[in-house]
Amino acid sequence: MTPAKPTACLALADGTLFYGQGFGATGQTEAELCFNTAMTGYQEIMTDPSYAGQVVTFTFPHIGNVGVNPEDDETGDPVASGMVVKWMPTDPSNWRAAQDLSRWLASRGRIAIGGVDTRRLTRAIRQAGAPHVALAHNPDGTFDIEALVASARSFAGLEGMDLAKDVTCAQSYRWNEKRWAWPDGYTPQTDPKFKVVAVDYGAKRNILRCLASAGCDVTVLPATATADDVMAHNPDGVFLSNGPGDPAATGEYAVPMIRNVLEKDLPVFGICLGHQMLALALGAKTVKMNHGHHGANHPVKDLETGKVEITSMNHGFAVDAQTLPDGVVETHTSLFDGSNCGIRVEGKPVYSVQYHPEASPGPQDSYYLFERFAEAMASRTG
């Protein structure tokens, strides 16, 4: 059989090329490339705001076969820049499917390429680190390769990039969705007990659902909120969300706010970018990882109980545990590479994790962290 003529090309900044079949939108995009090992949840991954500025290659070969639906978006807007898959998506086969993946991507201006040797690509990412890439989809199959490689090289990179301001909410709002956080087990909130301000650096909806399910009445504030903006809501606790880009860049405006909030002695809980910025506010440093952690089966050890949680991960930066100041305890580490996965402030209800206890997609082992936040607020409010 003659292979189909390529209609898409992925160019790495080192000049390596991957040809395949384009789907989704046509055109060209530049980004950093990462790989995600999750076997389910491609829609949640593509709509996780933390993927801004990145093209995602999926190591699981069958992507797209359950289509997409209106409920599984982690935010209202398109976020990841594009996707790379092994097999072209087949027609969706699932009772929840409302649209097929290709049309959905096209309607959101997102480019995708199928038919790529994603194992070779993943090895290249592991060996040389997350590359800068240009991804082009052109149905007539003509590509100016030199220009494409030059575009990949011209991508500025995520280091030093504050992307939270691009994906945060424009205005504050109250989270009042009446929906179960999990398919089973946890009830939607009808009688919230705690007032929580969630600072939105690119928050996933399931985090807000989990907070609500743990008893919180959640008010979401834009990333640039000041400590005065936060305190004006008279919160029982403050939540710092996940988000894209370099934590050090976002920290330029977030760290002063967090330091002020820490002086109020309120319970503070952070996830992912929120974890990194809490660590920065406490005086630690963050580093860029070689290829980061992106998947739904990452083992994390709770150093205080010895228990292992299987977690969802999506980060390309990490807190350098060597830089944690006195009084800040490392609570969790990755069993893949020993990198920091959690901290807490000694004697205070202030803690954060690098991974995603809200899952979506992924295992629900770490939901207890939301309950811990609620308990900290309960013991304060009496």
Ligand X SMILES: NC(=O)CC[C@H](N)C(=O)O
Binding residues: 50, 243, 245, 273, 276, 314, 316-317
CB of 291 to ligand X, least distance (A): 11
Q: Annotated binding residues for L-glutamine, as ranges?
A: 50, 243, 245, 273, 276, 314, 316-317
Among 14, 9, 6, CA closest to 29: 9
CB of 193 to ligand X, least distance (A): 27
Out of 316, 342, 357, 361, which residue is the one contacting ligand X (CB under 6 A)?
316
Burial class of residue 246, CB neighbours in 10 A (0-12, 13-18, 19+): buried
Instruction: Assess whether 272 carries a catalytic annotation.
Output: yes
Q: Phi and psi (nearest 5°) for 7?
A: -120, 5
Contacts of 76 (CB under 8 A, 6+ apart): none
CB of 244 to ligand X, least distance (A): 5
Out of 314, 339, 352, 364, which residue is the one contacting ligand X (CB under 6 A)?
314
* CB-closest chain residue to ligand X: 272
Out of 272, 284, 353, 359, which residue is the one contacting ligand X (CB under 6 A)?
272
Q: Which is nearer to ligand X, 213 or 286 (CB)?
A: 286
Instruction: Assess whether 315 carries a catalytic annotation.
Output: no
Token pair 């055109």 in the structure block, residue: 27
Q: Interhelix angle for 368-381 vs 205-213, to 10°? A: 50
**Cis status of the peptide bond prior to 361, with omega within 30 of 0:** yes
Q: Which is nearer to ligand X, 204 or 344 (CB)?
A: 204
Among 257, 265, 279, 262, CA closest to 343: 279
Binding mask 46-65 for ligand X (x = CB under 6 A): ----x---------------
Give yes or no for a contact between 366 and 309, defined as CB atoms under 8 angstroms apart: yes
Contact set for ligand X, span 104-163 (CB under 6 A): none
CA–CA dist 175, 332 (Å, integer): 29
Out of 12, 223, 273, 319, which residue is the one contacting ligand X (CB under 6 A)?
273
Out of 29, 36, 151, 242, which residue is the one contacting ligand X (CB under 6 A)?
242
Number of residues located near ligand X, criterion CB under 6 A? 12
**Total length of the chain:** 382
CA–CA dist 171, 106 (Å, integer): 28
Catalytic residue among 34, 210, 216, 272: 272
Q: Which is nearer to ligand X, 132 or 315 (CB)?
A: 315
- DSSP code of residue 357: T
Instruction: Decide: is 33 part of the binding site for ligand X (CB under 6 A).
Output: no
Sheet of strand 340-345: strand arrangement: 173-174, 216-222, 194-200, 237-240, 268-271, 350-353, 340-345, 328-334, 286-302, 308-319
Out of 244, 270, 342, 362, which residue is the one contacting ligand X (CB under 6 A)?
244
Out of 60, 317, 351, 367, which residue is the one contacting ligand X (CB under 6 A)?
317
Instruction: Assess whether 159 carries a catalytic annotation.
Output: no
Q: Which is nearer to ligand X, 245 or 267 (CB)?
A: 245
Q: Which is nearer to ligand X, 19 or 336 (CB)?
A: 336
* 111: three-class secondary structure by DSSP: strand
Instruction: Decide: is 315 part of the binding site for ligand X (CB under 6 A).
Output: yes
Among 348, 327, 328, CA closest to 340: 328
Q: Which span sits near ligand X by CB under 6 A: 171-179, 211-219, 238-246, 335-343?
A: 238-246
Positions touching ligand X (CB under 6 A) are 50, 242-245, 247, 272-273, 314-317
Give the residue numbers annotated as catalytic, written as ranges. 272, 356, 358
